Amino acid sequence: MKRTIPIIIAAVAGLVMVVAFFVPPLIDWRETAEEWFNILAAVAMILGGASILAMHLRRISDQKRGWGFSLVTLIAFAITLSVGLFKVGVPPMAEYPDRPWTGEYITHGAPLWWIFQYLIVPITATMFSLLAFFVASAAFRAFRAKNAEAVLLLGTAFIVLLGRSYAGTLLTGWVPESYAALTLPGMTDTIMGVFNTAGQRAIMIGIALGIASTSLKILLGIDRSYLGNRH
């Protein structure tokens, strides 16, 4: 029963999604199924919060290496949660001045807004900006000309990098208009529009077929490994 009910739910929800795609009046059903998922995900957030607490409390109590970071995490978690949940510092709505909790929780200037604006956004931006260094290191490794394919890749990347920058126009700007396809931007357009697009589409067709196959396996209950192995 523990396995049958989830399989039935998955099959019914999946079938509703598929049928609603073709039958417009069933769109409401699809939206209802999506709302149910959102409700489930929201309830699961409680489990997520409990998981965070349990994990970090255990680290602190066991005095594991780096337990100080767990302490910082828990303090930040508690502050953000309480500030957001209790709408600390949020003024009430103009229509209900005597009801303190009626304001938007992320009101401009409120503590939660401040945490978001001045802590989360910069920290996130910092993580994202690291990507530039990783791109450089990955490109250095990928473009090493160790065999014929790597040389081809290097040459193509070189053309596209130059063609996508102003250097491409500058270097091949002297080429007559009738030979525009031989300029760096022209070659870049050909590489991206023909070879790259063809490759991308081949991958997309494979992905679409893979999704169809996986969906069918789940709808028919053939693949139950997401519920654990059957044996």
Partner 1 sequence: MVKRWKSVTAAGGRGRLTGGRGEPAMGSWGTPGLVAWVQGFPVVGQLVLLVVLGVMAQPLWGAPASPRGLRARDVRNDAGRALTLDWQLSPDDDVRLDPPRVAGYRLYRAEVTPEERPRFERIRDEQDLPPQVDEVVDEGLTPHQPYLYRLVAVDAEGRESAAAELDQPVRPEVWYFDRNKRWFLAITLLISAGILFFIRQARRGVELKIRKIAGLEAVDEAVGRATEMGRSMLFVPGIQDMNNIQTVAGITVLARIGRLTAEYDARIEVPTSRSLVMTTARETLESSYLAAGRPDAYHEDMSYYITDEQFGYVAYLTGYMVREKPAACFFLGAFFAESLILAETGNSIGAIQIAGTAEPAQLPFFVAACDYTLIGEEFFAASAYLSGEPEQLGTLKGQDVGKLLGGLLIAVGCLLFTYAHGADSPAAQRAVNYLRFQVLGTEDIPEEILEPGE
Where on the chain is the footprint of partner 1 (CB under 8 A)? Answer: 21-25, 27-28, 34, 37, 40-41, 44-49, 51-52, 54-55, 58, 65-66, 120, 123-124, 127-128, 130-131, 134-135, 137-139, 141-142, 200, 203-218, 222-223, 225-231
| Min dist. Cβ of residue 120 to partner 1 (A) | 7
| Min dist. Cβ of residue 226 to partner 1 (A) | 5
| Min dist. Cβ of residue 133 to partner 1 (A) | 9
Q: Count CB-CB contacts under 10 A for residue 83.
A: 19
Closer residue to partner 1 in complex, CB, 41/85: 41
Closer residue to partner 1 in complex, CB, 55/78: 55
| Min dist. Cβ of residue 159 to partner 1 (A) | 16
| Min dist. Cβ of residue 114 to partner 1 (A) | 17
Contact present, 183 and 175 (Cβ < 8 Å): yes
Residue where the block lists tokens 């100080």 = 68
Cα–Cα distances (Å) from 153 to 1, 181, 214, in that order, read: 54, 20, 33
With 0-12 CB in 10 A as exposed, 13-18 as middle and 19+ as buried, what is 185? buried
Closer residue to partner 1 in complex, CB, 172/219: 219
Hey, which bits of 68-227 come out as E strands?
none
The structure tokens listed for 6 are 């989830």
Amino acid at 159: I
Using DSSP, state whether 193 is helix, strand or coil. helix
